[in-house]
Homo-oligomer: A and B are copies of this chain.
Amino acid sequence: MFEKILKNLKSNPPLVHNITNYVTVNDCANVILAAGASPLMADDINEVEDIVSISNVLYINVGTLNARTVEAMVKAGKKANELDLPVILDPVGVGASKLRNESVEKLINEIDFSVIKGNMSEIKALYTNAKNTGGVDVQEDDLINDENIEESINFIKKVSGKFNCTIAATGVIDIVTDSERVSLIRNGNDMMSKITGTGCMAGSLVATYCGSNKNEIFDATVMAITVMGLSGEKAYRKIVEKSEGTGSFRTYLIDAVSLMDFKALKEGAKIESR
């Protein structure tokens, strides 16, 4: 799987159109470049259709949404659907405000998404309209672990069915499913929640791999989440070795994505198919 996905990325590196938040936008751009693709950020409603038209994939992240950008997201998403490009949704902090809930609902109603990626609190809020009082971080009750894994898988499959797209629910164990296939990914590291942007970077990577692999959305998503997790492990080993902190972790995380190759991926990936 990895070999084909990587080969497609290398032979046709995608132009990734991002409509995302201003907190982690620089990290998203850098991680897309680190993976070998090209990022493009544009959110004015009067240019998003033009930008989508030269892009290979659209990544929508509602981290710091506002009225202006939500309209642009809808317009961009519809154009991407029209052109049959993959569209990825990162419903950051959904459940934390009425505006966020209504905006995400609107996006889901108007756009066909290929992948929705979020932490378990966000996915739950999306499905059940539950209140998400943890803000952009996952709440403790919602952590995916070995005890609740069966239940979690079943739930995520239902979500996938409801929204008719691949769902990537990230956590200590990541779950990716397209309703039929299920992959559990046990890569990653606690330190990833101690910097901002790991979630958004994971979303950008999903967009990157999907951008060159539009007929292999499930595999491309599994691979992106795995690359992110493995990079986190590598960055963590390095800061421990050098007694460094979260600032260095962030730098090494992007380093690791840029240095990731097929061999490292094959050796380090902890993917379980269910």
Contacts and interface: CB of A to CB of B under 8 A. Distances in A.
A41 to B, nearest CB: 5
B258 A254 contact: no
Contacts of A33: 193-196, 246
A127 B21 CA distance: 33
A194 B258 contact: yes
Nearest to A26: B23
Interface stretch (A59-67, A108-116, A148-156): A59-67
B245 A256 contact: yes
Interface in A21-62: 21-27, 29-30, 33-34, 38-44, 46-47, 50-51, 54-55
Given A47-B100, A245-B34, A41 B26 contact: no
A54 B248 contact: no
B247 A254 contact: yes
A13 B47 CA distance: 37
Nearest to A64: B41
B29 A26 contact: no
A85 interface: no
Given A33-B196, A42-B64, A196-B33, A99 B245 contact: no
A256 B243 CA distance: 10
Contacts of A67: 44, 46
A42 B51 CA distance: 26
* Interface residue tally on A, bucketed by range: 35 or more
A10 to B, nearest CB: 14
Given A29-B23, A246-B258, A97 B51 contact: yes
B252 A26 contact: no
A250 B30 contact: yes
A248 B245 contact: no
A268 interface: no
Contacts of A51: 96-97, 135
Contacts of A68: 66
B96 A50 contact: yes
B194 A34 contact: yes
A142 interface: no
Interface string A179-222: 00000000000000111110000000000000000000000000
Contacts of A259: 243, 245
